[in-house]
Amino acid sequence: MTENIEIPFNFPQIPDDASDDMRQFLVELRRMITSHFVADGSPKEFVDVMVGSKGRLTPLGGLAILLTNKSGAVSVAGDVIQSHATIADAVIVADASATNVFGAFYESGIADGSSAWIVVAGKADIHMDAGGCSVQDRIITSATAGRGDVSNAPAVAVHFQEIGHAIEAAAANANALCVIHFN
């Protein structure tokens, strides 16, 4: 029997011969769509969307991946990270002025050894150093481990330290919303 689906746009009916897994997937997709979109198809609110078990789109508009926090401490949202030197699929807080950064912790409080979401593209909070930042500042790795700093004078020397660009101002030692892209 074909299930009747009432959502605001054309959504495929669940075929009679659909597998249990496919049926469960389509029912969950329908639930997610109807709970997050209004009748005209526009979003009700920012939503957090899982992409498989190790990827997600954050409500801020970032792409996050799941890696292991091996920083030796609980995570701090916005701290810039780099790969662990010897443990696969793991990250540490970025060294001071690091040139091999590729993301930032999405959440605070994730214990060392636990899975942590790392924002690697799009919009993310970046934990700024004591200088803070202004809108449109170019953000690079700081001389303070795990933090962002401002560098608006283009220079080859800091190219690989680049994190992204601030789209909001932040006070000293606060998080700034940035569009991140790593070189």
Indicate yes or no: pTM above 0.95: no
Co-location of 64 and 134 in the same domain: yes
Q: What does the pLDDT read at residue 17? A: 80
123 Cβ neighbours under 8 A, 6+ residues apart? 58, 60, 61, 62, 167, 177, 178, 179, 180
pLDDT category at 2 given cuts 50, 70, 90 is: very low
Task: Name residue, tokens 């029912």.
Answer: 27
Range of the domain at 22: 1-45
Please give the tally of structural domains in the chain: 2
Q: Can you tell me the distance from the alpha carbon of 61 to that of 122, in angstroms, rounded to the nearest whole number?
A: 6
Co-location of 85 and 140 in the same domain: yes
Q: What does the pLDDT read at residue 16? A: 77
Residue 111, SS3 per DSSP: coil
Greater confidence (105 vs 182) lies with 105
